[in-house]
Every structure is written in C-alpha cells, then in structure tokens.
Amino acid sequence: MARCRDEERGLAAVETLTAEGLDVRLLAIDVTRDDSVQAAAARVQGEDGKLDGLINNAGISGKFTKPSQQPVSDVRSVYETNVFSPVRVTQAFLPLLKAAGHADIVMVSSGLASLGWLCDPTNQFYGVNFMGYNSSKTAPNAVTVAFAKELAVDGIKVNAADPGYTATDFNGHSGYRTVEQAAAGLVWLASQDSSGPTGRFYFERVLVPW
C-alpha cells in the first residue's frame, strides 16, 4: 500500500504502477495530523490486519540560512514534519507491524544527518551548515536506535537510510542520483529477514557514521 499526501499525484502513481502489473492501493495521509494518521492505520487494519514494512519518508527543508539567523518557529515547523511525524506514524502502525510476526521499519535519513560526516572537513557535507534541516534529520537517527532496541523482541527491524542527493521536487531535481538508485537502498532495508541488521544507518548498503 502506497501512502502519500497529495491524493491527485498519488492516484497518478497508482495508475502507472497498476499498469505495470503491480497490486497497489492508495492511502492519503497527512503525517503531521493525529487524526489522519490514525484513520490511515484503521484502514490498513480493516483491509489487511497487518503491515510487513513501513518507510517513513516525509520531509521538509525549512529555511536554508545561517544557524544564528534561523527563527525558532521555522526550526519547530521542520521538526514537526521531520522528527515528530515519523514517531507519530510509527507508533500508530506498531500494532499492525507486530501482527506481521516480522516487519521492517525504515527511517529515510540524509547524509546531512551524520554528525561524523558533518564534523569531517574532508567530507562533501562539511560546509552544508543548515541547523534546522540537518538536526531534524539527525534526530530521527536517534529515534531509529530507540525503536530498534525496544522492538527487537517483536522481530521488528528498524534502520535509517541515506538515499543520497536524489533528483526530486524537494531540491528542484538538482540531485545527481535517480529515484531508482535512491529507492534501491530503502527497498533493501525494508525487506530484511529475521537475520538482518537493526539500529543501523546505511548508504548504498554501507554503514554511515552517526
């Protein structure tokens, strides 16, 4: 089941995937609203009774400005979508994930979330010092670890993934990676079996420093 915020674009995507012979259903959801998230979880409960995988991919950028000049209100807005929403969605869908017996959760992170990379003057991301966005992607990495530790006993794997700088609407299609390249790493983590990793951060199947 594919979830999206823009129902019109979601329907277009469903038509494309259905034409390829895939079984796809649309689930419109606003991850910043409790009622929308709960309604989405209730629908999946009614139609399937379980959920094998959850990919938390919603994100906004906020203002790209100097840390000393970014309004707290802007940081708060970014955190509402990038930090609190993945927590909200994961908690709402947990009963369905547990019902699957084994499930995978993927938090879509960013290379800008890695404190190790951001502190390394030789790394390509060192000069990208956008406090609100960067820290809002680092926080879900910590959320990943917290859920991974709790849910290990339930057979649920929780990992974070950096899709890389991908050409999407988010960056005006300036990214150098294709959507297919970015999706490959997410699909890999979303299809781990019981022997797979948990509580880790990956790019292209390679561990990324927290």
Predicted pLDDT at 57: 92
Q: Collapse the DSSP code of 136 into the 3-class scheme (helix H, G, I; strand E, B; otherwise coil) and give the result.
A: helix
Predicted pLDDT at 24: 84
For the 51-207 domain, the top CATH level (class) is alpha beta
- Residues 6 or more apart in contact with residue 194 via CB below 8 angstroms: 102, 155
Number of H helices, E strands in the chain: 7, 7
Helix 85-99 with 34-47: angle, nearest 10 deg: 20
pTM confidence score: 0.89
Domain ranges of the chain: 51-207
The percent of residues in the chain predicted with pLDDT above 90, rounded, is 74
Helix 131-151 with 85-99: angle, nearest 10 deg: 20
For residue 2, is pLDDT > 60?
no
- Residues 6 or more apart in contact with residue 204 via CB below 8 angstroms: 164, 185
Across 118-136, average pLDDT: 96
For residue 174, is pLDDT > 60?
no
Q: What are phi and psi of 201, to 5 degrees?
A: -130, 125
In Å, how far are 10, 78, 124, 165 from 26, measured between CA atoms? 7, 26, 37, 26
Predicted pLDDT at 4: 55
* Sheet strands (E) in 23-165: 26-28, 53-56, 103-108, 156-161
- The Cβ of residue 121 has, within 10 Å, a number of other Cβ atoms equal to 6
